[in-house]
Chain A
Amino acid sequence: MSVFDGFKFRSISSPIHQLDPRAKFIYVCVLFTVAVMFNNIIPLLILFLIQLPIVFMAKVQREWMRSMKGSAIFAIMIFAVNLLSLYFYAGHETLTSILERSLAMTIRFIVLVQSFSIFFLTTSPDTLGLALEQSGIPYELCFAFTTAVRFVPVLAEEAQTIIDAQKARGLEIESGNFLRRIRNYIPILIPLIVNAIRRSLELAETMESRAWGACKNRTNLYVLKIKTNDLLLILFSLLLLTVSIYVSINVYIPSLTSLLT
C-alpha cells in the first residue's frame, strides 16, 4: 500500500495545493515532453532538481519519498535493461558513456514518476473533476471519474475485510499450486464485485433522489479561476518548453564524464 500512498491526495494547505489543476496539468505535460526530448544525463538531472523545491513547497516530502522508494525497483530494472542492451548492441561506445546513458534513462523514468506523484499528491479529486468540467467535458463523465477515484480507498478497505472474513472460514490464500491460488481469489472477488455493484446502484438511487441531473446547466459552489500563481506556473512551463526545444536543436550537450575530466 505504501507505493500508492505516494500518489494519494493529502489535504494540506500549501501554495502548490492551491494552484489550479489545469496549470499543474500543463506543467506536468511540459515536463513529460521535455523529459522525453532529451536522453542526456545533464538536462534530465536538471529536470529532476527543479522539481525538488516544488516538493518542499507542497510539504509532501514524506509521501514523495514513498513514491520514489516504490518506483526504485522499476528504476533498477530500467537501469539494468538499458545497461545490458547498450553493452551488447551499441557496439563501439565506451563503458562510461553506456553507464551514463543508462543512468539518464533511469533518471527520465524517475522524473516522470515524480511529476505524476506531485500532481496527484497536491490535487484533490474534487478540484480535478471541477477542472475537467470547466474544460468542457460533460458533467456525467467528470462525475464518473471523480467517483471512481474516490472509491478506490473504500474498495481497498473492503477487500481487506473480505479477505479477513474468508480467512476466518479457513481459506488459505497462499496455499496450493498456481491454478489453486487463482481459484482461492474467487471467494474474495465475488463479494467485492457484488458489493461494488450494489453500492453503485444505491449511489445512483440516492443521487437521483437528491435531484441529480434535474437541470441542464448545473452550477458549482466553487469555480476555478486562473490566479497569478497559476499564470506564473504556466509561463514557467512554456518557458521551459521553449528553452528545451532551443537547446535540443542548437546546443551541443556535453556528457557528464567529459565535464568532470
Chain B
Amino acid sequence: MIIVENLYFTYPNGVEALSGVNLRIEDGEFVAIMGQNGAGKTTLVKLMNGLLKPTRGRVLVDGIDTRRVSVARLARKVGLVFQNPDHQLFSETVEEEISFALRNFGYDEKTIKERVGWALNMLNLERYRKISPFMLSGGERKRVALAAVLAWDPKIIILDEPTIGQDYMQKEKLRQFILQLNQQGKTIIVVTHDVEFVAECNPRIILMKQGKIIASGKAEEVLTNEDLVKEASIALPEIAKLFKCLEEYGFPRNVIDVYEAADIIYKRLRDQK
C-alpha cells in the first residue's frame, strides 16, 4: 500500500513539481496517472520508489517512510520501468540484462536462472536470450526493460509511458499482460497519455495538473467528464466522444468500453424494431 501525505517536491533548480499531493493506493489496485507534460506524473512515481525524496510531506510504502531507506531496498517492493529502455540496457545479452537486478539483490544462481527463464517466457523473449539487447527493435527493447524489472517479482509495478513506440498488437499484448499481473494481485501504476489504452483497461484514474491531483476516480466517470479531461489537456476516448454526440437521443454519457457501447446500441436497435 502506498500512502502519499501532503507531498511537496521542488527540484534543485527551483521548479516546484508537486504541491500538496495526497493519495492512497491500496494493494492490488490498478491505477493510471494521467495529465499533460510537466504535470508532475513522473516526479510522483520517482518519489514512490525513493529516487527522489520529499521536500515536504511524506510517502509511505507498506508503512516504510521513503526517506528512511535506500532506493535499492525500496526497489524490491516497487519496480519502476522507465520510459526509455535505452536509459538502462547495457549488458552483452538479454539474459544478463535481466539478471542484473537479481544479482544486485543477492539472489543465488539457481533462483536467478529460474527467474530469468520465467521473465523471458512471460514477455515472449525466449529466442533473444543470447542476443545483445542493442540488436533488438524499439518495442523489443522496451519488453526487455520490462522483463528486467518483473524478474525480481516486485509487488508494486510502476510503468512510465509503457505504450509509447509500441504498435497496436504489442499494445494489446501489453494490456492483457498488465491485467494478468493485476489479477495475480500486483499493484499496477501506469503513467500515460494514452487515453484509448486506459479506456480499454478501465483502472482508477488520477488526473494531475501543475503538480496537483485534480481528480481521482473510475475511468468511466473521469474520462467522460469533458471539463476535467480538458483541464488535464488530454482527449476524450473515442467511445466517450461518440456517446457525447448521442447524448441528445437519450444515450448514457459514462461509457468508454467498446463492448459495453456495442451492447447499449444493440439493445436500442432491438427495442426500436
Contacts and interface: CB of A to CB of B under 8 A. Distances in A.
A166 B82 CA distance: 10
Interface in A155-201: 158, 161-162, 164-172, 186-187, 190-191, 194-195, 198
Contacts of A195: 86-87
- 9 closest A-B pairs (Cβ-Cβ)? A170-B104, A190-B90, A169-B101, A165-B88, A168-B80, A167-B71, A165-B82, A165-B87, A170-B72
Interface string B57-95: 000000000000011100110011010101111100000
B51 interface: yes
Contacts of A162: 87-88
B49 interface: yes
Interface in A1-53: 1
A191 B148 contact: no
B100 to A, nearest CB: 6
A191 B133 CA distance: 11
Interface in B6-58: 12, 46, 49, 51
Given A169-B104, A172-B104, A186-B90, 16 more contacts: A161-B82, A161-B84, A162-B88, A164-B51, A164-B82, A166-B88, A169-B88, A170-B104, A187-B90, A190-B90, A191-B87, A194-B86, A194-B134, A195-B86, A195-B87, A198-B86
A11 B79 CA distance: 40
A191 B79 CA distance: 20
B90 A168 contact: no
B148 A169 contact: yes
Nearest to A2: B12
A187 B70 contact: no
Given A167-B75, A172-B72, A161 B100 contact: no
A161 B87 contact: yes
Chain B interface residue bracket vs A: 20 to 34
A168 B82 contact: yes
B105 interface: yes
A191 B75 CA distance: 20
B210 to A, nearest CB: 22
Give the one of A1, A170, A172, A187 with max B CB within 10 A: A170
Contacts, number: 62
Give the one of B72, B75, B134 with max A CB within 10 A: B72
8 contacts: A167-B71, A168-B51, A168-B79, A169-B149, A170-B104, A172-B70, A172-B104, A191-B86
Interface of A: 1, 158, 161-162, 164-172, 186-187, 190-191, 194-195, 198
A195 B82 CA distance: 15
A1 to B, nearest CB: 8
B49 A158 contact: no
B101 A164 contact: no
Give the one of B72, B75, B87 with max A CB within 10 A: B87
Contact of B72 (A165, A171, A187): A171
B76 A170 contact: yes
A187 B100 contact: yes
Nearest to A172: B72
A158 B87 contact: yes
A198 B87 CA distance: 12
A230 to B, nearest CB: 33
Contacts of B79: 168
A152 B194 CA distance: 32
Give the one of B46, B71, B105 with max A CB within 10 A: B71
Give the one of A1, A169, A194 with max B CB within 10 A: A169
Contacts of B80: 168
A158 B82 CA distance: 13
Contacts of B46: 164
Interface string B87-115: 11110000000001100110000000000
Contacts of A164: 46, 51, 82
Contacts of B90: 186-187, 190-191, 194
A209 B82 CA distance: 31
Contacts of B82: 161, 164-165, 168
Given A161-B82, A187-B100, A167 B87 contact: no
Interface in B120-167: 134, 148-149, 152
Contact of B89 (A170, A172, A191): A191
A165 B81 CA distance: 8
Contacts of A187: 88, 90, 100
Give the one of A1, A165, A187 with max B CB within 10 A: A165
A169 B87 CA distance: 12
Contacts of A169: 75, 88, 100-101, 104, 148-149
Contacts of A168: 49, 51, 71, 75, 79-80, 82, 149
A167 B49 CA distance: 10
A171 B104 contact: yes
